[in-house]
Amino acid sequence: MEHDDAPGSSEPEPSDRTTKGDLDAWRSALREVMPYLDLGWRLAFALVAPPVAGYWADARWGTTPWLLLVGAALGVAAAGLTLTRVSRDLASGQSSPRS
């Protein structure tokens, strides 16, 4: 009497069964969502990096708070430019926004 649950059974577990169609659907969904996931990182970097650099430069050269303020202004401008570029790319139907 053989049991289907016996070790060495040639039948794969249900969790191991994937079809090519499932993987293709998953890849397609990731390609569609990726620009939106990338947008958060781009905006965060554009907003945070210039003020941090300004703070560092102020500490190094003793010009507090001027370079921090310049960095903050540059960060807001960079974030606005990034948001404009990404929204234009997404509206035009490009699957991946340019860097």
52-72 pLDDT, tens digit each: 999 999 999 999 999 999 999
pLDDT of 32 reads 85
The pTM score is: 0.62
Give DSSP secondary structure letters for 11-57: SPPGGG---HHHHHHHHHHHHHHHHHHHHHHHHHHHHHHHHHHHHHH
Instruction: Please list the ranges in the chain whose pLDDT falls under 50.
Output: none
Closest among 91, 55, 60, 61 to 75, alpha carbons compared: 55
List all residues 6 or more positions away from 38 whose beta carbon is below 8 Å from its beta carbon: 86, 96, 97
pLDDT of 4 reads 53
pLDDT of 40 reads 85
- Classify residue 50 by burial, with Cβ atoms within 10 Å: 0-12, 13-18, 19+: buried
Report residue 80 CA to chain centroid gap: 17
